[in-house]
Amino acid sequence: MTRGDVETLSKHGQWVNRVEGEEELSQGYASKEEAIEEGRRLAEATGSMHTVRDAQPTGVVTDEQDPERMARERRSGSDGDADGADDVIAVEDLP
Per-residue pLDDT tens for 10-62? 988 889 999 999 888 889 998 999 999 999 999 999 899 999 998 776 566 55
Rounded Cα distance, 79 and 2, in Å: 37
Hey, what amino acid is at 74? R
- Whether 82 shows a pLDDT value over 50: the answer reads no
pLDDT of residue 15: 92
Torsion angle of alpha carbons 26, 43, 55, 30, nearest 10°? 50
Predicted TM-score (pTM) of this structure: 0.57
pLDDT at 49: 96
Residues 91 and 35: their CA atoms lie apart, in Å, by 14
Position 18 scores a pLDDT of 93
User: Domains of the chain: which residue ranges?
Assistant: 6-81
**Whole-number pLDDT of residue 58:** 59
